[in-house]
DNA sequence: TAGGCCATCTGGTCCT
DNA sequence: AGGACCAGATGGCCTA
């Protein structure tokens, strides 16, 4: 499937299909904790094959002369990226004759947590060796001899820095791989690139957000029809941190709202908040969107929060009904448009009461929902993901 | 062969 | 002071 097809698919917002494809991809892509780089994951994918060789430690083949006195001279020999790595297809550092491995570093490791054996891998770094050397010298660096010793230590530090950087990048790549595994995407001949992964993740989040809003709008409409109550969801427990979504970047008269929901997908209870757009007609029609179980779960939670009590509390805000309206939904009919409050917080830590109502609701034009400022005023790229996948 | 993507090295800067 | 972070440089691998 090429990028054009991806674009079309994303344009359809058929997340059920995406979810299906996600499952399919999860079966195809390597998830063995090796960053999807093993050769097994390379079936039909060239990148994993290539990167399988990259994952091997360059240090395994680097023959740093720690006795050299000029670190700049060694850099000429060791720079050049993957070129110095072994050409093996294994992910287990087969390049080193002694089988030394710097791989297997967990993504959670930060900094130097790898304890390499300098004895078994003379050309690799013993990450703590320097510190131990320093400790052997009673930590008195000022008394170190200048000249060759410093150059030697510089080389060692450079090697350590290289290893840390390598591990850091590995962790980053592991995170990318984790992201690939949780976002639905269509099957491709190759693995998603980093930029594709980020773009898709962003779009996915935005679409999820829209789905929640759409669902909420429908529910609000239903409640109004049944009881005549004012639609809307109480904004509860909205984070009021100064750097939070509400306080940052949303004009007081903007239609933008903030939604915070428990991330049921990946973060295990973390609270993800996203700034939502007031509708400008770009919102999805929920009836046309099928969602993944996780998304449906989110939606059900959203519905659950729409209680009459919450509606009453919203009414207590004394905001005119039409001013409480955040936006209308282009697909839901005029009777609903002036009663949408696309603010939904499922969880959080700090209540700010009428956060949305104050920060967002006030000043929204009456009955001009579709013409009101949208999130695009805040983020010009907001709508763009819906027009084009990548 | 050009371009895309990537891993790694490297030196500078920021942060604790 | 040392580690994290960042961006530039370099070169390999792959596809069109």
Average model confidence (pLDDT) for chain A?
A: 43
For residue A47, give the nucleotide whose C1' atom is nearest its CA: C14
Apex CA A177: angle with CA A176 and CA A179, to 5°?
65
- pLDDT reported for residue A186: 63
Nearest alpha-carbon partner for A264 in A205, A186, A318: A205
Q: Are the CB atoms for A278 and A256 separated by under 8 Å?
A: yes
pLDDT band at A350 (very low <50, low <70, confident <90, very high): very low
Matching residue, tokens 């990167």: A51
For residue A189, give the nucleotide whose C1' atom is nearest its CA: C15
Asked if the model's pLDDT at residue A227 lies above 80, the reply is no
pTM greater than 0.75? no
A50 touches strand C (CB under 7 A): yes
What are the tens digits of pLDDT across the range A48-98?
333 333 443 344 334 444 443 333 333 333 333 333 333 223 333 333 333
Which residue stretches of A228-307 are H helix?
Answer: 293-305
Asked if the model's pLDDT at residue A268 lies above 70, the reply is no
For residue A157, give the nucleotide whose C1' atom is nearest its CA: C2
A168 touches strand C (CB under 7 A): yes
Helices and strands (DSSP H and E) totals, chain A = 14, 3
Partnered with residue A90 across adjacent β-strands are none
What are the tens digits of pLDDT across the range A177-217?
888 888 776 666 677 888 888 888 888 888 899 999 999 99
For residue A112, give the nucleotide whose C1' atom is nearest its CA: C3
Share of chain A above pLDDT 70, in %: 18
A140 touches strand C (CB under 7 A): no
Which sign, positive or negative, has the C-alpha torsion A83, A88, A92, A96?
A: negative
Share of chain A above pLDDT 90, in %: 2
Going by DSSP bridges, is the β-strand pair A271-276/A257-262 parallel, antiparallel, or unpaired? Answer: antiparallel
Nearest alpha-carbon partner for A288 in A16, A8, A6: A16
Angle between helices A3-12 and A15-28 (to 10 degrees): 140
Apex CA A332: angle with CA A317 and CA A282, to 5°?
90
Q: Tell me the average pLDDT across A136-157.
A: 52
Asked if the model's pLDDT at residue A356 lies above 80, the reply is no
pLDDT band at A161 (very low <50, low <70, confident <90, very high): confident
Nucleotides of C under 7 A from a protein CB: 1-7, 9-15
The span from the CA of A156 to the CA of A67, in Å, is: 10
A160 touches strand C (CB under 7 A): yes
- pLDDT reported for residue A210: 92
Nucleotides of B under 7 A from a protein CB: 4-12
Q: CA of A16 and C1' of B8: distance in angstroms?
A: 39
Question: What structural domains does chain A harbor?
Answer: 151-220 (4.10.280)
Which sign, positive or negative, has the C-alpha torsion A343, A259, A252, A244?
A: positive
Apex CA A20: angle with CA A16 and CA A23, to 5°?
140
A131 touches strand C (CB under 7 A): yes
Q: Tell me the average pLDDT across A231-237.
A: 31
Asked if the model's pLDDT at residue A135 lies above 50, the reply is no
Q: Are the CB atoms for A190 and A41 separated by under 8 Å?
A: no
Closest alpha carbon to C1' of C6, residue: A165
The span from the CA of A39 to the CA of A42, in Å, is: 5
Residues 6+ apart with CB under 8 A from A53: A82, A85, A86, A87, A88, A89
């Amino acid at each position: 499937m090429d990028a054009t097809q991806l674009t079309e698919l994303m344009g359809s917002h058929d997340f059920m299909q995406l979810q299906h494809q996600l499952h399919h991809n999860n079966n195809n892509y390597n998830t063995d904790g090796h960053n999807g780089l093993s050769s097994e994951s390379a079936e039909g994918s060239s990148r994993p094959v290539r990167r399988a060789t990259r994952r091997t430690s360059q240090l395994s083949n680097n023959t740093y002369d720690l006795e050299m006195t000029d670190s700049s001279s060694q850099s000429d020999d060791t720079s050049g990226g993957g070129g110095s790595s072994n050409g093996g297809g294994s992910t287990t550092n087969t390049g080193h004759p002694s089988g030394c491995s710097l791989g297997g570093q967990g993504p959670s490791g930060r900094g130097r947590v790898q304890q390499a054996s300098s004895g078994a891998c003379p050309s690799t770094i013993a990450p703590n060796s320097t510190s131990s050397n320093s400790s052997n010298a009673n930590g008195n660096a000022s008394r170190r001899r200048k000249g060759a010793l410093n150059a030697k230590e510089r080389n060692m530090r450079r090697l350590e820095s290289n290893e840390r950087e390598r591990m850091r990048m590995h962790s980053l790549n592991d995170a990318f791989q984790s992201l690939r595994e949780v976002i639905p995407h269509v099957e491709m001949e190759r693995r998603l690139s980093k930029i594709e992964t980020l773009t898709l993740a962003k779009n996915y989040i935005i679409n999820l957000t829209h789905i929640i809003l759409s669902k909420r709008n429908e529910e609000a409409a239903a409640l109004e029809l049944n009881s005549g109550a004012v639609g809307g969801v109480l904004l509860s427990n909205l984070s009021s941190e100064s750097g939070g979504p509400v306080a940052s970047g949303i004009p007081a008269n903007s239609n933008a709202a903030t939604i915070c929901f428990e991330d049921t997908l990946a973060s295990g209870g973390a609270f993800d908040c996203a700034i939502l757009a007031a509708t400008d007609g770009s919102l999805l029609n929920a009836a046309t969107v099928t969602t993944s179980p996780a998304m449906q779960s989110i939606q059900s939670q959203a519905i659950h929060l729409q209680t009459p009590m919450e509606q009453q509390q919203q009414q207590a805000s004394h905001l005119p009904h039409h001013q409480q309206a955040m936006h209308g939904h282009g697909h839901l009919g005029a009777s609903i448009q002036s009663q949408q409050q696309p603010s939904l917080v499922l969880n959080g830590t700090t209540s700010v009461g009428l956060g949305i109502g104050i920060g967002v609701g006030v000043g929204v034009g009456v009955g001009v929902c579709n013409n009101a400022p949208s999130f695009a005023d805040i983020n010009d790229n907001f709508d763009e993901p819906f027009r084009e996948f990548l």
